């Protein structure tokens, strides 16, 4: 499953979300304004930076919107 950690006002997050909307991929969004989501982000990635992708099927984590989109294109 694709999990994407975001801030709703982040333009880079919007870029990834807009791309995801053009695909048939299943994904979950986690707003880091919620403390529990921020805690998980910090545990997995170590930085308070979004967007952050965690792909549980491939055990991949990554930051940077362009890198995330390029990765998603491989599905």
The DSSP annotation for 32-68 comes to: TTSHHHHHHHHHHHSS--SSEEEETTTTEEEE-HHHH
Distance of CA 30 to the CA centre of its chain: 8
What are the pLDDT digits (tens) for 38-63? 999 999 999 999 999 999 999 999 99
pLDDT value of residue 15: 98
| Stated pTM of the model | 0.95
User: If pLDDT is split at 50, 70 and 90, which confidence band does 9 have?
Assistant: very high
The CATH code of the domain that includes 51 is 3.40.30.10
Q: What is the pLDDT of residue 44?
A: 96
Q: Print the domain residue range for 65.
A: 2-72
Using an 8 Å Cβ cutoff, are 63 and 51 in contact? yes
Counting the structural domains of the chain, the total is 1
């Amino acid at each position: 499953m694709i999990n994407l950690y975001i801030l709703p006002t982040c333009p880079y997050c919007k870029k990834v979300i807009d791309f995801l909307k053009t695909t048939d991929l299943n994904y979950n969004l986690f707003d880091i304004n919620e403390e529990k989501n921020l805690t998980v982000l910090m545990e997995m990635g170590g930085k308070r930076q979004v967007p952050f992708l965690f792909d549980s099927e491939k055990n991949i984590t990554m930051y940077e919107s362009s890198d995330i989109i390029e990765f998603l294109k491989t599905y």
